[in-house]
Structure 1
Amino acid sequence: MIRPAVFTIPPHVAFVDALALGLLDRTRGDPMRLARATVLLPNRRAVRALTEAFVRLSDEGGLLLPRMTPIGDVDEDEAIGAFADTLAGGAELEPAVDDCKQRLMLVPLVKRYLELHDARERVTAVEALRLADELRRTLSQLQLEGVETKKLLDLDVGDLAGHWERTLRYIGIIAEAWPKILAEEGEIDGAARRNRLIESWTAQLIAEPPARMIVAAGMVATSPSVARLLRAVARLPDGLVVLPGLDTGMDDEEWKEIRYRTADGEAPGGPRQHDSEGHPQFSFRCLLHRMDVGRGEVEIWPYATPYDGPPERTHIVTRAMAPARFTDAWRDLDLGDDALAGVRLIEAATPGEEAQVIALALRQALEKPGKTAALVTPDRGLARRVAAHLARWGVALDDSAGVPLRQTPPGTFMLALAEAAVQQFAPAPLLALLKHPLVRMDGRLDWLERARTLDIALRGVRPPPGLDAVGARIEEAATEARSDEKKHRLRALSGWWLEVSAILDPLERLFANPQVSLPDLIDAMRSAAANLAGDELWRGPAGRALSELVQQLELHGHRLDPFDPPDAPGLLAAFFQEAAVRPPYGRHPRLSVYGLLEARLQRADLMILGGLNEGVWPALSQPDPWLAPAARAQLGLPGLERRIGLAAHDFVQAMGAPAVIATRSRRDAAAPTVASRFWLRLEALGGEKVTRESALLGIARALDAADGPPRYASRPAPRPPADLRPRSLSVTGAEKLKADPYSFYAERMLGLTKLQALDEDPTAAERGTFLHSVLEDWIKERPHDPDYLRIIAEKRLREWDHHPLMKALWAPRAMRAVEWAAEEMARWSAEGWRALKAEGKGRATLANGITLTGMADRIDVAAEGSLAIIDYKTGLPPSHAQLTGGYALQLGLLGWLAQNGHIPDVTAGDVAALRYWRLSGGNIAGKASDPLVFRRQEWTEPQAFITDCMRWLDELCAERLFGDAPFTAKLHPEYSTRYRDHDHLARVAEWLGRSE
């Protein structure tokens, strides 16, 4: 019997370089032997890496490369490329079903199952797609592992819960019917096609061994069909199998401790599969069993390269990964002083700090000519942060994993378009769409100017849904604009909005339907996108990826049942997340970012292992929603811990580089983190031999650190010249000038007013405005009819039906307040008062030259001609201390304006009453209070209070408007809590409560 030719390359040896060197040495003297050879590799990235290794070794002249073919590892979503048609010996099979088509075909099947067996009334298309993707992976794994449908249907599920029994029965039916469904389409499942092609070629190799060299290299986790292929290759006359990182030095007892199970039953070692799957050698244990090769038959690949790391470190790291039962041997392990030389551990405080440290290490590597460095991490967020930091120094980082389409400008644009439509063009998503960088690249400045004007017009509470409501809000803003220039801009905006709404109208009509089909959605979105972004949307790698995906969705979208419009953004996001946009060539040639799969066979002079936290590296085990763990064990499928074992193997491989930096952060965005089990094992074994890096951490912290201790701002107190100070004052402005002069200064002299937020929740001010307008309309139209007040309120509340907060919470409170107002008005009328004027605006020039303005919520008149001033409050009225200290001047100053004839339609007369009406609508619907009564005692009379208010006003004007007193921020903080719009400008948090 031919001894199998199986080799392994230790982790400290650069795999692809050693492989290329060995193949060149074995074919030396016969260049055509190498050219005729076939090298089977796990994925396309390995093909590229081996090609580059051959190029590095061919400095002397040209070289005819062997045929390098990816065949796909069991846990890799890789097509098998040229292997499909050229190596299969003419095997004719149907084409593999397209991935997008397969996903869309499985969604209706999943949805039917959920509707039959789930109590929920509605199953979203997004949830059905997620479960369809999981079902697709499960079906592929069943195919790859060679599990027959009969075994799935005959599975013993007696000990499983009822829902697992139903799920297993359903997946058995699907597994049996799925090939027939695809056969009707003239296609075949990709995993099944791959298995058949591999089996066909394996049979050919056994029946007719080829004369050329066949090499299979780099396989880690393989399906039974690939294992049989490797078994055949290893026994060919000119065949080789080269494994990455098989531990040939492991103790035999420890090797036997790695237990596993196959679909045919338990393998030697016992049934405790879950105890061993997390071991880095578990996949090799399974593979060698399937290849019928003993570990002792595997030889060390006898080639070294200039890129190798120290072999002593490989021994230490592999010992650190020993099963728990063998860790007591660590006490007897002889660690030299240089055992972990070249390995540095860096523990950062936050993910941002970790990314900064990694970026510095990569940038530092570039200082040595020819030195290469790579970041290895499964955390794509960390990789993006590092790339952003390197961009500060003009270094473009090559991320081999690419970027999800949903994170590229074309992807975000399409998602913004869907989000705006599903939210019926509410202000925030609408403006996010119109301001997107891809929109109207030609004439961009004019377009942005219009979009910013629209932004201002839409500020405040969300308007009713729909494009027409946006146009109405623009018209309303134009009507209310105070300056002619602003009116002109808003009028011009109306014409621009007509063009925009015409572009978006088809989408609005589509989303108004109860159900939307995917082809109709894509067609409408593509039409709107073409009008908004034009050709810019389809340019570059991301644009091409979007174009391909859109074509696939249009071609196969009819497979998906119509769905509810709110599902559209999530559905598109799921498709965009799966589409990766690979970076173009031209990035930095000596720096790279690898995921664990990409780094498995590649090597750099400096390997940075980032994100070594539990849940990241290794990732958390993701449960299979279709097969229970017990069912997977019975079927011989990989357990949930298998990926942890592969992550452990990748860690060991990366630790073999000449120089290694391992990093982690002590917390993430949400909570403290736990160090990776690999990190903890290395620390436990290495002890004081582990070098902890501090220099890079110090530089990272110093980069963005402030110079010296923080310097706090002092309390602002601007002192403009008296001739520049205002000569007009409102009754509420007087209160602000008294309590917080800086807020008055910022608003009146600097012209800074706070912009309302987009989609702002209705505030107490909104409810106050509503109540004011209802009471105003009532007084103007039918003030003696309490029932009419209720009719007006109900009519106006219907305008808020589109806003759930107003409709559900505030509408009942508003009606209670209105009903209380009607009752109070009846009582007030019984005392002889009659409503005279609502929203009465007054204006007068005082003796000192100041123009005083104000508006009274309501003015009532008695039979003898005396007046009453009533002010509505939705919050608390001013306190007694505010009234007696001159910080609540409004009622007194309005009284002076009224009794001196400065309010139109109000005959001059003495003010006999001042009142606050608190319209809360809460447990106490409303309350009328007399500000001149304190603790049931009248502390002053209306005329005396009005006189005091005018005196306080004169003193205030003399000091603040005619004098040189500074406009000090928060001069009286106890009375200025309601003036907060300019606190950030005044940097109040920096000085309030601090000593100077």
Structure 2
Amino acid sequence: MAEAGGPQLFTIPAHRAFADALVVGLLKRFGETPAGLARGLVLLPNNRAKRALTEAFVRASGGGLLLPRLVAIGDPALDEASDPAFDPADAEPGPPAVTPLQRRMILARLVAEERAAAGQPVDGAEAVRLAGDLARTLDQLLVEEVAPEKLRALDLADQLSVHWQRAIEMFGIVLDRWPGELARLGRIDLADRRRLLLDRLAAQWRRRPPGGFVCAAGITDSAPAVARLLRCVSELPQGLVVIPDLASDMPVSQWDALGPHAPDPATGVRRRSIETHPQFHLKLLLERMGVNRGEFQLWRDRGGHDASIERGRAVANALAPALFTREWPSLPAEERRLSGITAAELATPAEEAQAIALALREVLEEPGRTAALVTPDRALARRVAAHVRRWGVEIDDTAGRPLTILPPGTLLLLLAEAAAQRFAPLPLLALLKHPLVRSGEARGKWLEGVRRLDRVLRGPRPAPGLDGVDALLAEPSEREGKRRARAAAWWPEARALLAPMAALDGAVQPLAVLLAVLRETAQALCGDELWAGPAGRCAAELLAELEVEAAANAPEMAADGLAPLLRVLMDEQSVRVQQGSHPRLAIYGLIEARLQSADTMILGGLNEGVWPGTPAPDPWLAPRIRAELGLPGLERRVGIAAHDLANALGAPRALMTRARRDAKSPAIPSRFWLRLQALAGEGFQRAGDLERWARLLDDPAEFAPEPQPAPAPPAEKRPRQIAVTDVDRLKADPYAFYAKRYLRLAALDAVDADFSAAWRGTVVHEALEQWARLDGGVPERLRDRAQALLEGGHPLVRALWEPRLMEAIDWIAAEQRRCLNAGRSIAAVEREGKIEIAGVTLTGTADRLDRGPEGLVVVDYKTGRVPSQAAIRAGFSLQLGLLGLIAERGGFGDVAGRPTGFEYWALSRAPDRSFGFVSSPTDPKKRDPISADEFTALAASNFSDAVREWLTGDAPFTAKLHPEYAPYGEYDQLMRRDEWYGRG
């Protein structure tokens, strides 16, 4: 107990609702007169805590009430300034603080300049990222009141790697230049200003205490300036300091083991502090306040819930320093019992979100009961909010959502990325299809034009820039002519809007210029709808501030650096929904959950790397340097996360959840989860019903897969014409033939598709056709013809394929000389033919028809694999035989006759590793040779059988009838292949 007249220090244990208990106590002490409470002042850690206390006053008042003044001391880690109450109008004015974004832009410029001078240039986006880390490290120096001179006094160069030596040297240079920048602006750092204001207020209150009470509540920041202010408040005549969950009953041995420790007098070595413990930052605060743990009294007033004291002790035991966990087996059963706490372990994050949503929904069945989800995983929070909507329940995530995933943010990023990629098809179409672009009545017509452009842009990427799209739309094409004409009629409207961004090109320019063009282009695309709502206002304010600060402070950059820069800054912008959330359910981040309470607290995402999160590395100061300077260790955040966990577990009911794997790999349970499980042993209660319900909620119970599709339209409505290239498809996968020819569903090329083997084959066939038609098949002219064709093609084709294609061209020229020497000549190339057979029209295009001494030779150029004899004997891969059948029956016009040879000219590696070879299914040297006449007869027989079965007959078009000969999967999704294939 505190002595009379001593500091007024109190703590509220975790098993009580902090805000409600605090309010009840304040009402008892100062609420006897209407003005007694209103004359008071409550200091809180940040602006988020003010709302929690306001709601607690509303719950406790039962009617009208004059609230005390609620003032936040601010948090540099949140870029949050102190409340204006710390700087009244009648006080001596101090220098204003530099804004966080202004400081970051200046630091980015300094970093870029120093890195360039050191021969390690960085782009603008990387400079801004490094400046963010630099600003955080600088804030820690200011908050901990570590003078930069202390860094220079350290002599650890020989104990650090070259990387850290360079980083510290760069850090020192920037620190030397930063004060000059502040002096130029006439400003000081935000953390420095907060320290000055807090110290000035403490000095003022010591001289003249305020007339009303002053209560510092929920403040656990261990900064020296905060500690001095709290000490001052505790000594005021009506001053109170109330902190959450101080371990008053922790054994002295454990408390002393936490640190911080003084250096050993004999060795000068300092024992390592246990910064990962939930009480470490509180102990550090107490030491800086100059008070003892025994001076804190228990806050006697109760409000809201009041859970089990024994459970709080069990949680404290579970989170004890590792050295003392050996005492667990000897603890009494009641100090190991986690009564009221259950745990749910789910398979995936999606299942975890489902389980949490069910737990929240269950709470609504009990009138008046409240529940809250607390998690640092914002993706999990969004999933839970989406799941509860199935029951018509809307819950707002008070931690907000990053601007990068909201429509205004995604629009700005898409515009910047499209310009950076010089309007390549994918980012261009994603931008034009964005829901904010041309929203309203004009959107239907706009989307119609975008869809026309989408069809044209399918396939390999056109030349870069808007001019590349222009050239593609103007390029003549027999197959795409009408489609390109329709897209070309709409394209000028979109092109005019994008032209300012395209004009930026890749030149380095002032950031302010890039931002102005981005803003104006976005406005032209979307109108005022882009800036509407909380997310739109957030985006507008960020761009406006960034444009102002960038004009004088930011480094120059090229347009392709704008998107990474915006992504870095937008990720740090949280947009919070301003309207009221559900009255009984809530979703909190760890910071938002402090001072909050609910009947049921759900702690989600208890995996290592999530809760606690992986400490962000400091790229500027090595861990050894940070320790020598007295800066917080990177792992201190783990201890604060543990304190948040202990406070949340103080609710009457608590549910912990985790997923056994994340999106990529198996997940490791949180160290907190493992400690609680190890302490409780068999008493670690599992929420088995909830785990089962989460699995069953979307389980269809009985799985009835679709049968193998086998449509059977009437014979008179079936196609009566077929190409030789579709015969294998008809026999191996009749359903695919049905979808292509009967339903007339053609597979679309992907947008910005890679140049596949099919595209390479097209280039080869076109070159060989022009060589035969225009150059008469003269071998010496083939290379020139191919190079002329490639010069007009896509740069990627030339860079990746030209060496191999020219090797193939040289082989064909050599093979052509052999044919000429043997008396063979080219009779026709790319000749189309057709015949009537078995009641249908068979069509085909021969790559090449030669006349030789022995008769007609059918040649097929193959850029892929050559068909095997086994496939031919099985009745497949008979395209070459069917072309011979067409020639035999006069289907190729003047090029007719009985074929005596069939050849595949393979443009690939031969078995002996030489390039290019000739393969013939009628080669007598093969293991299972087929004669020319037999080959043609085999093709005719198999074709006639297929026609009688599926084209003139009524056999069903069964899907994947012979999957080993059906390698293409364009229609697999349409036939719902994964539902039935392999289940028979």
TM-score (norm. length: structure 2): 0.95
Task: Tell me the amino acid that sits aligned with residue 958 of structure 1.
Answer: R
Q: Do residues 408 (structure 1) and 406 (structure 2) align?
A: yes
Change in CA separation of 1:376 and 1:823 when aligned onto 2, cut-off 3 Å: same
Q: Do residues 540 (structure 1) and 540 (structure 2) align?
A: no
Task: Tell me the amino acid that sits aligned with residue 160 of structure 2.
Answer: L
Q: Do residues 731 (structure 1) and 724 (structure 2) align?
A: yes
SS at match of 2:301: coil
CA contact (8 A) 2:616 2:634 kept: yes
Task: Tell me the amino acid that sits aligned with residue 956 of structure 2.
Answer: P
Counterpart of 1:811 (choices 798, 802, 814) is: 802
Q: Do residues 518 (structure 1) and 515 (structure 2) align?
A: no
Counterpart of 2:851 (choices 848, 861, 875) is: 861
Out of 109-118 and 228-237, give the one that drifted further: 109-118
Partner of 1:966: 956
Task: Tell me the amino acid that sits aligned with residue 536 of structure 1.
Answer: E
Change in CA separation of 1:523 and 1:226 when aligned onto 2, cut-off 3 Å: same
Matches within 5 A, 1:54-133: 54-59=57-62, 61-73=63-75, 75-86=77-88, 90-117=91-118, 122-133=121-132
Q: Do residues 618 (structure 1) and 618 (structure 2) align?
A: no
Task: Tell me the amino acid that sits aligned with residue 494 of structure 2.
Answer: V
SS at match of 2:656: strand
Partner of 1:484: none
| Distance in 1 of aligned mates of 2:843 and 2:590 | 71
CA contact (8 A) 2:314 2:336 kept: no
Counterpart of 1:930 (choices 906, 909, 920) is: 920
SS at match of 1:54: helix
Partner of 2:391: 393
Q: Do residues 29 (structure 1) and 29 (structure 2) align?
A: no
Counterpart of 1:320 (choices 318, 326, 344) is: 318
- Deviating beyond 6 angstroms after TM superposition, the runs of 4 or more aligned structure 1 residues are 265-271
Q: CA deviation at 1:544?
A: 0.4
> Unmatched 5+ residue regions in structure 1?
482-486
Partner of 2:891: 902
Matches within 5 A, 1:144-293: 144-158=143-157, 159-260=159-260, 272=270, 274-293=272-291
CA contact (8 A) 2:738 2:957 kept: yes
Partner of 1:831: 822
Q: CA deviation at 1:756?
A: 1.6
Change in CA separation of 1:822 and 1:45 when aligned onto 2, cut-off 3 Å: same
| Distance in 1 of aligned mates of 2:346 and 2:461 | 43
CA contact (8 A) 1:834 1:862 kept: yes
CA contact (8 A) 1:424 1:465 kept: yes
CA contact (8 A) 1:606 1:660 kept: yes
Partner of 1:746: 739
| Distance in 1 of aligned mates of 2:804 and 2:193 | 67
Change in CA separation of 1:514 and 1:734 when aligned onto 2, cut-off 3 Å: same
Task: Tell me the amino acid that sits aligned with residue 779 of structure 1.
Answer: A
Counterpart of 1:53 (choices 53, 56, 68) is: 56
Task: Tell me the amino acid that sits aligned with residue 514 of structure 1.
Answer: A
Q: CA deviation at 1:30?
A: 2.8
Change in CA separation of 1:965 and 1:247 when aligned onto 2, cut-off 3 Å: same
| Distance in 2 of aligned mates of 1:73 and 1:986 | 58
Change in CA separation of 1:637 and 1:979 when aligned onto 2, cut-off 3 Å: closer
CA contact (8 A) 1:732 1:889 kept: no
Change in CA separation of 1:319 and 1:126 when aligned onto 2, cut-off 3 Å: same
Change in CA separation of 1:266 and 1:477 when aligned onto 2, cut-off 3 Å: farther
Partner of 2:778: 785
Task: Tell me the amino acid that sits aligned with residue 248 of structure 2.
Answer: T
Aligned identity (percent) is 48
SS at match of 1:692: coil
Partner of 1:985: 974
CA contact (8 A) 2:16 2:304 kept: no
Task: Tell me the amino acid that sits aligned with residue 130 of structure 2.
Answer: L
Matches within 5 A, 1:593-672: 593-672=587-666
Q: Do residues 556 (structure 1) and 549 (structure 2) align?
A: yes
Counterpart of 1:957 (choices 929, 947, 956) is: 947
Q: CA deviation at 1:334?
A: 2.1
Q: CA deviation at 1:286?
A: 1.0
SS at match of 2:646: helix
SS at match of 2:764: helix
| Distance in 1 of aligned mates of 2:339 and 2:942 | 80
> Could you list the per-position Cα deviations for residues 662-708 of structure 1 after superposition, in whole angstroms to 9, with x for gaps in the alignment?
11111111222221121122122222333211111111111111222
SS at match of 2:15: coil
Partner of 1:43: 46
Q: CA deviation at 1:593?
A: 1.3
| Distance in 2 of aligned mates of 1:612 and 1:895 | 69
Task: Tell me the amino acid that sits aligned with residue 294 of structure 2.
Answer: G
Q: Do residues 675 (structure 1) and 669 (structure 2) align?
A: yes
CA contact (8 A) 2:234 2:240 kept: yes
CA contact (8 A) 1:89 1:200 kept: no
CA contact (8 A) 1:73 1:219 kept: no
SS at match of 1:440: coil
| Distance in 2 of aligned mates of 1:915 and 1:802 | 32
Change in CA separation of 1:645 and 1:218 when aligned onto 2, cut-off 3 Å: same
Q: CA deviation at 1:907?
A: 4.0
| Distance in 1 of aligned mates of 2:265 and 2:35 | 43
Q: CA deviation at 1:134?
A: 0.7
Matches within 5 A, 1:435-584: 435-442=433-440, 443-476=442-475, 479-481=478-480, 490-510=484-504, 512-558=505-551, 559-584=553-578
Partner of 2:338: 340
| Distance in 1 of aligned mates of 2:941 and 2:660 | 63
Counterpart of 1:913 (choices 895, 901, 907) is: 901
Task: Tell me the amino acid that sits aligned with residue 153 of structure 1.
Answer: R
Q: Do residues 362 (structure 1) and 360 (structure 2) align?
A: yes
Change in CA separation of 1:763 and 1:982 when aligned onto 2, cut-off 3 Å: same
> Unmatched 5+ residue regions in structure 2?
none
| Distance in 2 of aligned mates of 1:270 and 1:618 | 33
Out of 125-134 and 562-571, give the one that drifted further: 562-571
CA contact (8 A) 1:212 1:238 kept: yes
Change in CA separation of 1:428 and 1:477 when aligned onto 2, cut-off 3 Å: farther
Partner of 1:372: 370
Partner of 1:306: 304
SS at match of 1:533: helix
Q: CA deviation at 1:763?
A: 1.4
Partner of 1:820: 811
CA contact (8 A) 1:813 1:921 kept: no
| Distance in 1 of aligned mates of 2:635 and 2:272 | 7
Change in CA separation of 1:799 and 1:309 when aligned onto 2, cut-off 3 Å: farther
Q: CA deviation at 1:932?
A: 0.7
SS at match of 1:78: coil
> Could you list the per-position Cα deviations for residues 849-872 of structure 1 after superposition, in whole angstroms to 9, with x for gaps in the alignment?
4222110111223479x4322111
| Distance in 2 of aligned mates of 1:199 and 1:614 | 39
CA contact (8 A) 2:76 2:190 kept: no
| Distance in 2 of aligned mates of 1:308 and 1:765 | 72
Task: Tell me the amino acid that sits aligned with residue 151 of structure 2.
Answer: L
Change in CA separation of 1:553 and 1:8 when aligned onto 2, cut-off 3 Å: same
| Distance in 1 of aligned mates of 2:568 and 2:514 | 15
> Could you list the per-position Cα deviations for residues 314-358 of structure 1 after superposition, in whole angstroms to 9, with x for gaps in the alignment?
122112222122223323322349943321111111111111111
SS at match of 2:657: strand
CA contact (8 A) 1:259 1:271 kept: no
Task: Tell me the amino acid that sits aligned with residue 960 of structure 1.
Answer: W
Out of 728-737 and 64-73, give the one that drifted further: 728-737
Task: Tell me the amino acid that sits aligned with residue 160 of structure 1.
Answer: L
Out of 354-363 and 207-216, give the one that drifted further: 207-216
Change in CA separation of 1:200 and 1:338 when aligned onto 2, cut-off 3 Å: closer
| Distance in 1 of aligned mates of 2:37 and 2:322 | 45
Q: CA deviation at 1:453?
A: 2.4
